[in-house]
Amino acid sequence: MQVSLVFSLLTSAVLATANYSNYNAAYLDTPLKVSDGLQIIGGFNALRNQFPYQVSVQRLWILTYSHVCGGSIISSNWVLTASHCTTSGTYRVVAGIVLQTDENVFGQQTLAVSEIINHPLYPETDAVAPNDISLLRLSRSLIYVENVQPIPIPHRGYVAEGDAVLTGWGLTRPSALTIPNHLQFAYLPIVPGEECDNILNDLLGDRNPFDVELNVCSGIRNGGESACSGDSGGPLVNNGLLVGVVSWVLVPCGGHNAPTVYGKTSAFTDWIVQNTNGEVEPAIL
């Protein structure tokens, strides 16, 4: 099962004092069950129509589809997600929902994925790596309504600063066995690239895969906000722009001083424009 990309904690040492040799890179499976009453780590329940660009990327398991990752509508025919979410399998996208159990909600649309374009430099192995970004072409065009809308991408070189909002159906605590039914959101501070790199170097040493040019980080404001399994591929939005695609975190999710790492959308703007044949263009600020 390919889902949220994370670093596995091999000992129970506290993050702030752990030796970086205790950490290894690995994939972590997303649970297939959905539960009510759960919240993102440090997050809140989203209102209906609050994040109309958020979609659920679902994979076919035998006879049923289950949520594996998030994604963002960037045009009526394209969704942006993470490459580690889509290395193999049959996928569909569900748009216009706030609950995983939503059925026949006004504007709700379920579309097959007709083409997957993973970044050519993504290694498609179990190793945590940059270039973790993917385009999903939909089998037909989305119909824009209040709860189904695109999010613009930034121009090449855009630098995100200040606060950003993370959304997703990922685990709400590291030990959870189910994902929340209700879409979650949290406001997080953007961590400057060099600062994030230094934090991760302290935790991971020379096995730190963070790339200042290709990744962006969010930090922790109140001691626990974080992406977790099932949030992968989902959006980080800053000033109305899709600035990040959830890629990896440190386990346990929301640990002390541990940032969430995203693919930096502005590093891939030209690639997105080219591979969507110009259908997706960066926002004009």
Catalytic residue among 72, 119, 132, 182: 132
User: Is 132 considered catalytic here?
Assistant: yes
Catalytic residue among 4, 67, 84, 266: 84
Q: Cβ neighbours of residue 79 under 8 Å, at least 6 residues apart? A: 55, 57, 71, 72, 73, 93, 113, 135, 136, 138
User: Is 232 considered catalytic here?
Assistant: yes
- CA 280 from chain center: how many Å? 19
Q: Do the beta carbons of residue 187 and residue 231 sit within 8 Å?
A: no
Catalytic residue among 218, 229, 232, 247: 232
Q: How far apart are CA 124 and CA 198, in angstroms?
A: 26
**Other residues' Cβ atoms within 10 Å of the Cβ of residue 45:** 17
Q: How far apart are CA 119 and CA 189, in angstroms?
A: 27
User: Is 119 considered catalytic here?
Assistant: no
Q: Which residues are catalytic?
A: 84, 132, 232
